[in-house]
Structure 1
Amino acid sequence: MLKKISYILLLFVQVSFANVTLPALFSDHMVLQQNDDVKFWGWANPNEEVVIKASWSEIAYKIKANNQAYWEIKIKTPSAGGPYIIKINGYNEIILKDVLIGEVWLCSGQSNMEMSAAWGIKNGDKEVEKANHPTIRFFTVSKSSATSPQNDLYGNWEVCSPETMKNSSAVAYYFAQRLQEDLKDVPLGLMVSAWGGTPAEIWMPEEVIEEDNVLKEAASKLQPVEWGPTEPARAFNSMINPLIGYNIAGTLWYQGEANVGASKYDKTLEALIKSWRAKGENDFPFYYVQIAPFDYGKDHSGGVEIRDAQRKVLDKVSNVGMVVISDVSPTDDIHPKDKKPVGIRLANLALADHYKTYFKEVNGPLYKGISIKNKNVIVHFDNAEGLYFTNKKTSLFEIAGKDKIYHTAKVRLKKNEITIFSKEVKSPKYVRFSWGNTSVSNLFNKVNLPASSFTTE
């Protein structure tokens, strides 16, 4: 009888004094968003009081776990700095060390976002040698999939060193480096959640796809592959949902190659952006990379159609930006090795649009509209100051009438205005530029950034 009572008491103690636990995101070396009310959350015994004290403040934040053993609370952060210590006390104590306050960016997509120096990027060995940046931190999410939304994941914060940088996202690293040039070494936290070869649909909440017939039809056409999931929401559930709530400055996205062949990618990307913002209750900036020209096959134009769909999203969603990289990417490699200009161009977007510290042009020429005058078509561009062609002998402009049969156009460039025409088209109606999977733009502006492919259809 005494043994039975002792067993019951021991069981009662174990249940009553459950340890406070935290998601993997909250660990040593973490970076928290500066000047913000950042959310902390975790688990504890129901009604257990959790007390949080950060070394940058005298305030003791207190919260009790609910009947689901869950708690969350917002903590006010100071301006960039550190390192700090954060103590979390319940029946046990957790001490988070070497915590920095700065700017946090979520970096997601497929292999070109995942790609590290270890993959053999341009000048990778030299970059690795000098990658001692203790105020840059990586949280690289391990690959996993789930059929329902998860509340935790696998990963840990790491200080940027030659050893850690070598196996971390190169695009994210170059982005952080460039930001720190203008933001005066403000700490950078890079949460990298990427999976090579994956379509956008697996990175979206399932209900977003199920409730939209266009998205649902697109998702139904995805075929299984051996290197990752293609079912809706599988990566979102396990690699994005657990990150939601962690305060961020913005998101970087490099994906699209796995959706080549899709006809409504602009709708898909638009839905993805809006769903992430809705889940996080934050209209954060979303900057993405237009996929590079690549030979996907001569019997279709699926690659350039994705590039054009990405361009269209600029007009459909607020607070977004796109970088064009056709000038730094060979057409025979789906994994362009020169990641530095990609990261720098993304950073320049953020510095210009979000941080307001960079005042030069950060976008290449973008199609704005056309004016038709008899047989001539005037093509209007935004970001058009200093327009020039790198190859004046080759025209990448094509023109068509209502029959949609395209002919190479002759081009006149004068005072940043482009006029095109073709003897074969007496009544022009449609225009397209650099229209081909491997077509590389030859039109640039004064800051030497290339124009995006486009079609007026």
Structure 2
Amino acid sequence: MNNQVLNTLTLLLLLTKSVLSFSQELKPSNLFGDNMVLQQGVAVPVWGLSSPNDSITVTFSNQNKSTLADSNGKWMLKLEPLQANKTAGEMIIKSKSSEIKIKNILVGEVWICSGQSNMQMNVDNVPDVKAITPLSENIRSFDVKRTVSFEEEDEVTGKWQLGNSSSAVASAFSYYLEQLGDIPVGIIHASWGSSSIEAWMPRDMENDFMYFKNIMYDFDKDMMTRNTIKKSLNAPNGWSQKEDVFMRRQPNIIYNAMMHPLIPFACRGLVWYQGERNTRYISGVPTVNETNWFHRVIGMQEYSDVLQQWILNYRKKWQNDTMHFAIVMLPGYGKGTVKKPDIDPENPTEESFAWMRASQLKALNLPNTSVVNTIDLGDVDNIHPKDKLPIGERLALLVAKNTLNKPIIAEGPMLKSVEVSENKLIIHFKNSNGLKTTDGETPKGFWIADSTKKWKMADAKIEGETVILSHNDVNTPLYVRYAFAGKPNVNLVNEENLPAYPFKTR
């Protein structure tokens, strides 16, 4: 065989391999599967892989949409807005040579539920939530596998299932939302204990925050950390608990593996129950060493700016300016920061969770946001309280009001204004119809101060829809803090027994 013939055969072999390498079976994203829920009222992207330039057709709910795969075999099309439907439907996806049927599909409200350990807490550990899960109808859930990646992934690991998510908060939320909306609910649950907001931040947020850019710069050049993570991911028998903790406390790489692949799945919004990891310092990014390396995250006071920019970033990625974000306020807890872990849990001057709650409430500066008030919940000694049922119920109330336009009361009293009257402060509230206390006693949790900023626990009384504050040692009160403490003792609610939101004026 001469060289010319040999070269020709070699070239043909290479071309054949090239063609074969681009030959892909028709496959939608893993987010599309039996038992799923599709979002009502918006255009619904459907996407996946096939052979390059293949013709793809998707049929669902009397719609027939077609597109062509690109040169890499990627394809995407959008269904027109769908109406809510409790009657299961079937989606047919066709290429030139293949057909896939996805069965038992409902149309309703789809929510992503994300965060750290209090979102992850399993429904089996919360008896009152577990008790209601068998009562749920038309609820479907997709639990995203916990993993990390150095690059933004296109695919996620998980499977739609009938019934509630493994998350207690997500389960309670979906149960009450289904009841309030009389509509199917789909939950995509993506959470991981002890993860910071930085773990869920996309790489392009380096452009917004220099501290994050510095963190990622150091992470990129830390080959020991990167090799440790690679070794864990490739371990034939899975990673250990120690390795698990190590991975989930790194920046960005959870977003890459667990959130980015969800884009642009049509959903109403995202429930965010996270913040505990960012409470170890009141401000700034700490200097770290081998023993506290996992504390290199933003502090409580700056968290508000990061959270708001994070919300805007996600909306941009989903190409949905009205994507709703429901933030779960951190509940009561009696420990402080690294600087001073042992605190008076009712004192408004301590470095406590109060500062994180104030940052979380600033998310309300953005439209299409809600903050679930949990100030009456929690455990002074346990950062993982089990009172998740009321969180789910309050989430559903806010979401039903703000996204389904239900005419309901969904929030407790919120500060409207402070009036100075001689030696008293008069506190005016929004959402204050039927202002009362849960135990029939005078309101608790109010502190006042004059120009000296020496805080005193106020004598408080309800007058109509206001609270009057005074103290014998404060002749000219100027400032007030309400429930601004790690684990305050509170009892102020409105007619729907929803608790008053914490606040401070100084």
TM-score (norm 2): 0.80
Deviations 1:75-128 (A, max 9, x none): 12532224222222223332222222221111111112122222x203355345
2:431 corresponds to which residue? Answer: 383
For 2:246 and 2:500, locate their aligned partners in 1 and report how far apart those are by CA, in whole Å: 33
Between the aligned partners of 1:276 and 1:403, the Cα distance in structure 2 is 43
CA distance in 2, matches of 1:221, 1:379: 48
Partner residue in 1 for 2:47: 41
Could you tell me whether the CA contact under 8 Å between 1:253 and 1:286 is conserved in 2?
yes
Q: 1:152 maps to what in 2?
A: 155
Contact 2:332–2:376 (8 Å) recurs in 1: no
What is the TM-score of this pair, normalised by structure 1? 0.88
User: Would you say 1:94 and 2:100 are equivalent positions?
Assistant: yes
Taking the aligned partners of 1:151 and 1:290, their CA distance within structure 2 comes to 31
Partner residue of 1:105 out of 104, 111, 116: 111
Q: Name the counterpart of 1:176.
A: 174
Distance 1:77 1:312, change over 3 A: closer
Matched, 1:229 2:248: yes
The change in CA–CA distance for 1:124 and 1:354 in structure 2 (over 3 A counts) is closer
3-state SS in 2 of match to 1:326: coil
- Equivalent position SS for 1:123: helix
Equivalent position to 2:277, from 254, 258, 267: 258
Evaluate the alpha carbon distance shift between residue 215 and residue 431 of structure 1 in structure 2; reply closer, same or farther with a 3 A threshold: farther
SS of residue paired to 1:235? helix
Distance change in 2, residues 1:396/1:8 (3 Å): closer
Change (3 A) 1:249 1:295: same
User: Which residue is equivalent to 2:140?
Assistant: 137
Q: Distance in 2 between matches of 1:450 and 1:302?
A: 20
Query: Can you list the C-alpha shifts for 1:127-168, whole angstroms capped at 9, x where unaligned?
Result: 45x2563x21111111112233221111111111xxxx4x61
Q: Distance in 1 between matches of 2:502 and 2:76?
A: 46
Structure 2 residues not aligned, in runs of 5+: 220-224, 226-241, 282-298, 336-340, 344-349
Residue 317 of structure 2 is matched in structure 1 by 279
Q: Tell whether 2:131 aligns with 1:122.
A: no
Counterparts in 2 of 1:220 and 1:52: CA distance versus 1, 3 Å: closer
Judging changes above 3 Å, is the alpha-carbon distance between structure 1 residues 39 and 330 closer, same or farther for their aligned structure 2 residues?
same
- The amino acid across from 2:397 in the alignment is N
CA contact (8 A) 1:24 1:153 kept: yes
Aligned partner of 2:342 in structure 1 is 298
The alpha-carbon distance between structure 1 residues 96 and 422, as it changes in their structure 2 partners (threshold 3 A), is same
Question: Quick one: distance in 1 between partners of 2:501 and 2:70?
Answer: 52
State the alpha-carbon separation in 2 of the partners of residues 451 and 8 from structure 1. 70
Whether the 8 Å contact between 1:292 and 1:331 is mirrored in structure 2 is no
Q: What is the identity percentage for the equivalent residue pairs of Structure 1 and Structure 2?
A: 29
Kept in 1, the 8 Å contact 2:436–2:492? The answer is yes
Name the stretch that deviates more: 392-401 or 277-286. 392-401
Q: Residues 17 and 221 of structure 1: is their aligned pair in 2 closer, same or farther, counting only changes over 3 Å? A: closer
Q: Is the 1:311–1:452 contact (alpha carbons within 8 Å) kept by the matching residues of 2?
A: no
The SS at the match of 1:98 is strand
The one-letter amino acid of 1:126's match is A
CA positional deviation for 1:62: 1.8
Determine the C-alpha separation between the residues in 1 that align with 2:330 and 2:213: 23
Change (3 A) 1:452 1:228: farther
Greater mean alpha carbon deviation, residues 415-424 or residues 208-217: 208-217
Is the contact made by 2:443 and 2:462 (CA closer than 8 Å) also made in structure 1?
no
Q: What root-mean-square deviation, in Å, do the aligned CA atoms of Structure 1 and Structure 2 show?
A: 2.9
Kept in 2, the 8 Å contact 1:122–1:338? The answer is no
Q: CA separation in 2, counterparts of 1:325 and 1:93?
A: 48
* Residues 1:205 and 2:202 are matched in the alignment: yes
The corresponding residue for 2:189 is 192
- What is the alpha-carbon distance in structure 2 between the residues aligned to residue 247 and residue 331 of structure 1? 39
Q: 1:307 aligns with which of 357, 375, 381?
A: 357
The structure-2 alpha-carbon separation of the partners of 1:374 and 1:218, relative to structure 1 and needing over 3 Å to count, comes to farther
Give the AA of the match of 1:113: M
The residue number in structure 1 matching 2:385 is 336
Q: Note the C-alpha offset of 1:291.
A: 1.0
Cα contact 2:375–2:483 (8 A) shared by 1: no
Rounded to whole Å, the distance in 2 between the matches of 1:211 and 1:257 is 22
Matches of 2:14 and 2:216, distance apart in 1? 52
One-letter code aligned to 1:20 = L
